[in-house]
Structure 1
Amino acid sequence: MKQLHRLLSALALLCLLFPATAQQSINWNKGGSDYTTLEANQIVRINPITGQKDVVIAKNLLTPKGANDELKVRSYSFSEDNQKVLIYTNTKRVWRYDTKGDYWILDLKTNQLSQLGKGFDASSLMFAKISPDSKSVAYVYKNNIYAENIATHKITSLTKDGTKKLINGTFDWAYEEEFSCRDGFRWSPDSKSIAYWQIDANTIRDFYMINNTDSVYSKIVPVEYPKAGQTPSSCRIGVVLLATSQTKWMKLPGATNNNYIPKMEWVPNTNKLIIQQLNRKQNVSTLFIAEAQTAATTAIYKETDEAWVEFNNRSGESVGWDWLDNGKSFLWISEKDGWNHAYKITLDGKEQLLTPGDFDVIDILSYSEQNNKMYYTASPDNPRQRYLFSTTLDGQGKSVRITPMTQSGTHSYEISPDQKMAFHSFNSSQISRMSEVVNLPDHSVAGGKEGIEAKLSKVRLAQRPIDFFDIPIEGGVKLSAWMVKPVNFDSTKKYPVVFYVYTEPAGATTKDEYYTGRNNLYQGDMGKDGYIYVSIDGRGTPLPKGRAWRKAIYRKIGQINIADQAAGASYLLKRPYMDSSRVAVWGWSGGGSTTLNLLFQYPQIYKTGIAVAAVGNQLTYDNIYQERYMGLPQENKEDFVNGSPITHAKNLQGHLLYIHGTGDDNVHYQNAEMLLNELIKYNKQFEFMAYPNRSHGISEGEGTSKHLSTLYTNYLRKYCPPGGK
């Protein structure tokens, strides 16, 4: 349900930080004086101050012997000794991302290019990684883990029991979607063993999607998918020795199918693992140290919450651990005191708060024991924005804002390992992406070039009258909102209002970013056509406004968030220039669910709704997401029922356009059919569009995006006519 938000966020960040030709993030060298990146399918080294570029790996080195064309590089990584480069190419999508492909090794001493996994199917290897001693590469093939000697290309099967549902070294659908877990194995520091996840989904029922278009006979597309209330797949951590291919399973407490393991890494310079275990309700998080040789485990740190405990202490995928003191302590983020803060945790469980105060740490970006400094993002005064701050790692310093006060908006940074420089990008609702290289900690422009501050004096602001404001509602709650008024707005006229919604814990819509206030589904300019466009973030959305704000929604998705939206809309619709007879609402995924609930529960407010890929019945969605925020159906099923749109479908009075892809592996098409049945039962008239074999993003197939946009635009204009009256 949150896939679309993650994808858009990732794409936006990539566009902000790097040119359109880049295919992966920059790779700083260990000293931090320069970095490598991809340009025109070559790996180049760039001095960030002078801009000087040197080709490290030219196209001719990427051309296999006997081939006419070079490999099309999707990403690359260097070995620890910097003598070898791992090339990822010929990629193929698995669920959401291109995580299968071919891997090649380029030896920089001999310039020899050789393919890994010869004899295996094309585009079938996953997550290849060079060992710390630079002698081997490990990868996943058909849910088994293999190690390949780089010099001899001898391939050793480290696991042999992998099947479609017994998964070694990677994850099932639910783990990938809900924990951002994809890469499921880790090399030991001494390169002698590999720790890995094993997911046993044999007890998970398949959900069947039907492909009716690629043949005259239909094709069943099964997805192992644990619905809310269903027992999770079993999960355990094993350590396999390369010398023997024998696995030892770590002895974690509790049933393997009643707990989750979202994070696991090796403790530096040891033969120990650190493992995060969540109970099924996800309200207890325990960190364990596991002895790889004996498999014994010891709990070192536990956190509980009346609602849920966030599973990942860093944004993005669950890869990596932030180690300090040569592996004796680490950084951890927790909201245990009511705010998201950074802590230093020792291996014996002692903790030290590093960022005290009534504000949320958004993310840790960089830390250096040598400099006694940690950089992180936060925005204590405006939850819509993001700025760079620093503090000390010894817990004695105060938080200091590094981003200039004159640059109001959203900031992103890629900080060098020595913390002396950073790629800095800035944007806001009115200012498109700007970038520069800055010195740290003074944030001065590196290399004497024109920086963002100088550019701001000459920039042309976006010609969009977007206003950010708060809406007070009952209980002293303030909702975050924005509004875009029509071009040539006349306060004496009444205009139609279109609300864009999401409202669930996976995404926020009111951030101060350049794409905020735009509607990419609408053909034309909503402002010029005479629409007022509005979005509101209520309680439960992941804004940096504290734990109480975010977790007020626990067990009340479809209720509290819906009531907040309606209260915000009622407050705004008192304004004389808003036409209460022309009020529309639309959203995608969780926003589609919100659209349905608003249209059904508050028909006196919302007259027209366009819901895309919506969850109509919360009991149809996956257990990890739905149970995290709603509890277990076995204990409080009434909350799932009360929050589901199908429960309220009988109240439809306005105009509804419902859209869903029949190949949606995320929010299954069954949601559409369940909802249609309920609407039919009560003789509720509506319009419906099914996109054959399209997934959650409804983007596959020639002409799809244009058709969807045309459908959306025509329906909105017909039932919520534009223009002031």
Structure 2
Amino acid sequence: MMRILFICLLTYCSLHASAQQTQLTLEDIYKNKTYATKRFGPARWMKDNRSYSTLEQNMDAGGYDMIKYDAWSGKRSVLVSAQKLIPKGKKQPLKIVDYEWSPDNTKLLIFTNTRKVWRYHTRGDYWVLDMKSEKLTPLGQNVERATMMFAKFSPDASRVAYVSKNNIYVENLSDSKFTQLTFDGGKSIINGTFDWVYEEELSCRDGFRWSPDGSQIAYWQSDTKGMGTFYLINNTDSIYSKPVPFPYPKVGTSNSAVKVGVVSATGGRTRWFDVPGDPRNNYLARMDFIPNSDEVMIQQLNREQNTNTVWVGNTTTLSLQNIFVDKDEAFLDIHDNIMWLENEQFFTWTSEKDGWLHLYKVSRDGKSFDTITKGAIDVVGINCIDPKGGYVYFTASPENFTQRYLYRSKIDGSAEPERVSPIDQPGQHAYQISADASYAIHTFQNSSTPNKISVIDLQKHRSIRVLEDNRELKNKFDALNLNPKEFIKIDIGEVVFDAMMIKPVNFDPTQKYPILFFTYGEPANSTVQDAWQREDLWHQYMSQQGYIVVSIDNRGTRTPRGRNWRKSIYKQIGILATHDQAAAAKVLFDTYDFIDTSKVGMWGWSGGGQMTMNCLFRYPEIYHSGLALSFVSDQRLYDNIYQERYMGLLADNESNYIAGSPISYAKNLQGNLMIIHGTGDDNVHYQSFEWLVNELIKHNKPFEMMSYPMRTHSLNEGENTSLHLRETMARYWKRVFE
């Protein structure tokens, strides 16, 4: 009897534990990190293209060892033990945030003790480990700690250059002697790095380049005088508020004056290129040395960002030659896919000039322009260019826009693109490829499979060794017994959209369920992807509460559907996309009887917050409740590079700036609205939130609001912020859907 009772107790406990495991909780997602994805690396392919380095924890030393693995055999060797990374007089090894090998793999540059500059940790301390002598040396003993940025070896690895407090320095590794190359850097002059808007919208951070022979350094200089200063107000760090100023160019206002100069690596006067055009109304978006030369290639975008003028500048004579101009009737994106070929007589270039995003082979004089990738296919990204093997490896997905696969094309353009990724692994594939394309670190994922990372023989696409399979996470996820994402098509007549749907647990098609739309809708991103995405667990949690979750990629979103798809949104941000979302919702309601059309909500972050309010205010007959986070309420308040790229200049298109802004329709609010913003948002300022609040008050509209003190655009700083935010969101939806 006692034995039967004991067995029953065990069975009960087991079933009870199993039942507990099937509940997805916000605490587990946002506090306990129960469903965190394990990563691998950072890894670097070594010079031999047969081995790679990575970091592995050393429990005894309390740091990380630098490990070398042979790609084929898996042979493991310790390149640098954590004990060798303990500075003199210290007990703990350096915390490696990032690292770089010298070109000959004889020295290791370590980035540590980092600080955030806007969104990224780009400021900190650097150390160099000499692999032969095992000497560990701190760099920048002449500058303030944790102020160094973008340190990099000279071509012969005898020196390192870096930026500190907007000035550029070169330091000899043999004796730690340094040379200060610029002296005018300060509050308004920025040397070797960039202002906020160049970093955010043009992905410009590292602002200097060594010449191939190591004799010169070319760099950007930004003069922020004349640019408007925006002030964030810090009320949390002391009893008196502190204004936090930074230059930020709003739509239609003045930019920094940016120029490119060249200075000897041993010091001296900077000589400047005289690039034609107003430096405050053109963007010097890219600059790099041409290999084995004393010339730089400079890409100059006009203010409208529909013309990219490509210059070759001689660093000795400072002469400039315009080799070609790329144009688009809408806007151009900058691509970092340039590689020089055939003794620098040709280079690769990415353009949409034939309606698809293709890679081209261009002659040095710009006169010949031959297609490498061919057909109705968009090049999502270049993974590797292997001149010796004769192939370009790139990411694309011409048949399913929610997925990503590796393709290759012959550099001479003589063949159609060939798929490399296996057919039996539907989803998204990413590759870190050795320079000779023999091996790759391959990451596979889809909406129900977290990252599976392997070393593969790329030529046969055969797995050699699994580095991280996230099996534990996969098992936890499967134990929840959730309904998977379903990928569907929505045809509104004008166009067919990709969409995803998650149905509630224990879904019954004869019942009616509230629907929650998740949206972004702008050209910077896509929400409908067959991938293990950040918001998936939140949406699965919402589906557990009994809601259907749907997301729709409207026209203009960043998907590989050709130029016309992406450029259709030009000059009508917030207008065309809002129409598309509403039209798709109507088709969805007509298609699925289980949707409760009296309980329709939408939510989004940033551009998705703007889209949410545009839909809620303009289509109240469809959408009844909205939740908008970190949103732009008036497009004229946002930065000029992003907004003018997609909307044109304010003077030419102000009526659509107004028509696409949710603040213009706030008076139409009929349903429920909650707005959330961080007061320390340097991207979309709290000002945008306050302007909308004033407009809603003006029209006597009831709404809910939540402010997070000194949190940025991501709303994740500070203890417990992420969990508090999600619980606030969940409570809101529970109220409005009941």
Q: Same fold (TM over 0.5)?
A: yes
Partner of 1:337: 354
Q: Is the 8 A contact 1:429 1:516 kept in 2?
A: no
Question: Does the residue aligned with 1:628 lie in a helix, a strand or coil?
Answer: helix
- Aligned match of 1:564 in 551, 570, 580? 580
How far 1:244 sits from its partner (Å)?
3.7
Q: Is the 8 A contact 2:605 2:629 kept in 1?
A: yes
How far 1:84 sits from its partner (Å)?
1.7
- The 5 A counterparts of 1:698-713 are 698-713=715-730
- Aligned match of 2:386 in 368, 372, 376? 368
- Aligned match of 1:35 in 38, 47, 52? 52
Partner of 1:408: 426
Q: Is the 8 A contact 2:514 2:737 kept in 1?
A: yes
Deviations 1:354-391 (A, max 9, x none): 11111111111111111111111111101110011111
Deviations 1:205-243 (A, max 9, x none): 110111112111110011210001112211111111123
Partner of 2:489: 470
Question: Does the residue aligned with 1:544 lie in a helix, a strand or coil?
Answer: coil
Question: Does the residue aligned with 1:610 lie in a helix, a strand or coil?
Answer: strand
Letter of the 1:468 counterpart: F
- Aligned match of 2:374 in 335, 356, 361? 356
- Aligned match of 1:578 in 582, 595, 607? 595
- The 5 A counterparts of 1:641-720 are 641-720=658-737
Q: Is the 8 A contact 1:505 1:541 kept in 2?
A: yes
Taking structure 2 as the reference length, what is the TM-score of the superposition?
0.91
Q: Is the 8 A contact 1:466 1:517 kept in 2?
A: no
Q: Is the 8 A contact 1:587 1:610 kept in 2?
A: yes
- The 5 A counterparts of 1:212-611 are 212-314=235-337, 321-349=338-366, 350-446=368-464, 463-475=482-494, 477-515=495-533, 518-520=536-538, 525-574=541-590, 575-611=592-628
Partner of 1:172: 195
Q: 2: distance between equivalents of 1:449 and 1:629?
A: 41
Partner of 2:653: 636
Letter of the 2:655 counterpart: E
How far 1:192 sits from its partner (Å)?
0.6
Question: Does the residue aligned with 1:361 lie in a helix, a strand or coil?
Answer: coil
Letter of the 2:393 counterpart: Y
Q: 2: distance between equivalents of 1:348 and 1:281?
A: 26
Q: 2: distance between equivalents of 1:377 and 1:621?
A: 32
Q: Is the 8 A contact 2:39 2:468 kept in 1?
A: no
Q: Which runs of 5+ in 2 are unaligned?
A: 1-35, 58-63
How far 1:451 sits from its partner (Å)?
10
Q: 1: distance between equivalents of 2:451 and 2:407?
A: 20
Q: Is the 8 A contact 1:483 1:517 kept in 2?
A: no
Question: Does the residue aligned with 1:73 lie in a helix, a strand or coil?
Answer: coil
How far 1:431 sits from its partner (Å)?
2.3
Q: Percent identity?
A: 46
Q: Is the 8 A contact 2:296 2:312 kept in 1?
A: yes
How far 1:119 sits from its partner (Å)?
3.5
Q: Is the 8 A contact 1:31 1:418 kept in 2?
A: no
> Aligned pair 1:137/2:160, yes or no?
yes
Q: 1: distance between equivalents of 2:734 and 2:506?
A: 19
Q: 1:215 to 1:460 in 2, by over 3 A?
A: closer
Letter of the 1:564 counterpart: D
Higher mean displacement: 295-304 or 242-251: 242-251
Q: 2: distance between equivalents of 1:330 and 1:464?
A: 48
Q: Is the 8 A contact 1:510 1:516 kept in 2?
A: no
How far 1:21 sits from its partner (Å)?
6.4
Q: Which runs of 5+ in 1 are unaligned?
A: 1-14, 315-320
Deviations 1:114-162 (A, max 9, x none): 1111132111100001100111110001000011111121111101111
Q: Number of aligned pairs?
A: 689
RMSD over aligned Cα atoms = 1.9
Q: Is the 8 A contact 2:374 2:413 kept in 1?
A: no
Question: Does the residue aligned with 2:99 lie in a helix, a strand or coil?
Answer: strand
How far 1:327 sits from its partner (Å)?
1.9
> Aligned pair 1:618/2:641, yes or no?
no
Q: 1: distance between equivalents of 2:112 and 2:534?
A: 34
Q: 2: distance between equivalents of 1:528 and 1:309?
A: 42
Question: Does the residue aligned with 1:568 lie in a helix, a strand or coil?
Answer: helix
Deviations 1:692-715 (A, max 9, x none): 111111111222112111110000
- The 5 A counterparts of 1:17-36 are 19-20=38-39, 22=41, 24=42, 26-36=43-53
How far 1:80 sits from its partner (Å)?
2.2
Q: 2: distance between equivalents of 1:637 and 1:587?
A: 25
Q: 1:58 to 1:664 in 2, by over 3 A?
A: same
Q: 1: distance between equivalents of 2:410 and 2:182?
A: 44
Letter of the 1:555 counterpart: K
Q: 1:450 to 1:566 in 2, by over 3 A?
A: closer
Q: Is the 8 A contact 2:405 2:421 kept in 1?
A: yes
Q: 2: distance between equivalents of 1:416 and 1:370?
A: 13
How far 1:434 sits from its partner (Å)?
2.0
Letter of the 2:434 counterpart: S
Q: 1:313 to 1:152 in 2, by over 3 A?
A: closer
Partner of 1:86: 109
